[in-house]
Amino acid sequence: MTFKKESYYTVVAKAKDMVPGFRDAFSQFEERVVLDRCSKSLVTNYGRNVAHLALHFGRVPHEVSVEEVNSYLYHQSVHEGFSESYFKQTVFGVRYWFRLFGKDELALKLPVIKKDKKLPVVLSKEECKKLFVAPRTLKHRFLLAFAYSAGLRMNELRHIRINDVDTDRMQVRVRQGKGKKDRYVILSKFIAMKLPKYLGELKPETYLFEGQTPGMVMGERSIQYVITEALQKTDIQKAVSMHTLRHSFATHLLEDGVDIYTIQHLLGHSHLSTTIIYLHIAQVLPKVGRSPLDTLYGF
């Protein structure tokens, strides 16, 4: 049995009703992910995928052998068309579940997920300009420019409040970004200049970018639609998403001479190794070093 096209809530509800012990086990899972401060998307992906597995075997996941899990993964990938991301999330979800129920040795035997070595897509500065003027509405133009200007993740962008934008200190507060960390990012002079007109025309109540309901955040699909629609009005042929603007922000900073440690901080990366990937993309000319002896004597 497969339930790939069903929603998280439908699949989990079915597993709770049909699989002995799953209801209580899933309650423990929900408690644990809250204590671990996991993101909502992680909970949804892990929960849905372990529920699929439980329904397939008719048993709680920690009672399924590694051999059975691997066979399930193989069958779903080859015969049911598991996407790469779905496969990865299933492995991560089952591994998390195994460890939750004291099956660490089984977690270690699951397939190793290798990190993709593909370089991210990046827009040139000219392509960014084309993209930012493409939308017909002020809200959409401002949203795309703002996302790029601060290198924000989509969820960070959605939750920027009006009072997070500090035009005196020229910075933007990012609340509870990835890893549940607050940080400050740069506020563009261009954005600060356009902000009064944006606020005057759109009149948002709480969040800078609100949906149809005043005071409520704009939905992820709505934001993705903004960039998809804008791209259709340009001649840009690259595979672009909202995250492409973040990649472009980091790459352009590097090309403008900003050091990698500052970029790491602005992006909110916990590890420098995550930021270093932009060194492989940026078109930066090597600098010829000078001997410190010459600088001592003014040469």
Which residues are part of the catalytic machinery?
Answer: 153, 178, 243, 246, 269, 278
Please state, as a whole number, how many other Cβ atoms lie within 10 Å of the Cβ of residue 109: 14
- Type of residue numbered 63: E
The C-alpha atoms of residue 189 and residue 195 are separated, in whole angstroms, by 10
The C-alpha atoms of residue 228 and residue 159 are separated, in whole angstroms, by 21
User: In 102-180, which ranges are E strands?
Assistant: 165-166, 171-177
- Joined together, the tokens standing for residue 24 give 């209580």
H or E element in which residue 183 lies: strand 181-186
- Joined together, the tokens standing for residue 137 give 């509405």
The C-alpha atoms of residue 87 and residue 113 are separated, in whole angstroms, by 9
Output the CA angle 78-82-83, nearest 5 degrees: 125
Q: DSSP letter at 283?
A: -
Output the CA angle 91-95-99, nearest 5 degrees: 175
Strands 171-177 and 181-186: what pairing?
A: antiparallel
- Joined together, the tokens standing for residue 60 give 């709680």
